[in-house]
Amino acid sequence: MLDTTAGKISAFIAHRFPKATITDADDIFSLGFINSLFAMELVMFLEKEFGITLPNNELVIDNFRTVTRMAELVGRLRPEPAAV
């Protein structure tokens, strides 16, 4: 689980909000966890962790609503290496 893109993103969020239970499909913006600071932390985390640069047109709330959407975003920009 933790080795997948979604797992890593989920772990990052869980580390910052240890008391919250967030599934990969939960809208983290509507749950009230996300303020503008954490949104910026998420962008920095995704770029650093997955070695990608998010183009400006991808920096919209819809791409960051759920763990699944963020994993899809990362997948679009950096196709996961094939399993060995």
Partner 1 sequence: MPEIGVIGAGVMGVGVAQNLAQCGFDVVLVDRDEEVLANARAAIARNCRMSALMGGPALDADAVLARITTAQGADAVAKSEIVIENITENWEAKRALHAELDQVCGPEVVIIANTSAIPITRIASVGAHPERVVGVHFMNPVPAKPVVELIPGVHTAPDTVRRTRELLEAMGKRAVEAKDASGFISNRVLMLTVNEAAFLVYEGVATAEAVDEVFRGCFGHPMGPLETADLIGVDTILYSVEVLYEHFADSKYRPCPLLKQMTDAGLHGRKSGRGFYTYN
Q: Which residues bind partner 1 (CB under 8 A)?
A: 15, 19, 32, 35-37, 39-40, 43, 56, 59-61, 64
In the complex, least distance from residue 59 CB atom to partner 1, rounded to whole angstroms: 5
In the complex, least distance from residue 40 CB atom to partner 1, rounded to whole angstroms: 6
Instruction: Answer whether 73's CB lies under 8 Å from 54's CB.
Output: yes
Q: Which is nearer to partner 1, 43 or 77 (CB)?
A: 43
| Cα–Cα distance list, 16 to 7, 22, 24, 59, 82 (Å) | 14, 12, 15, 21, 30
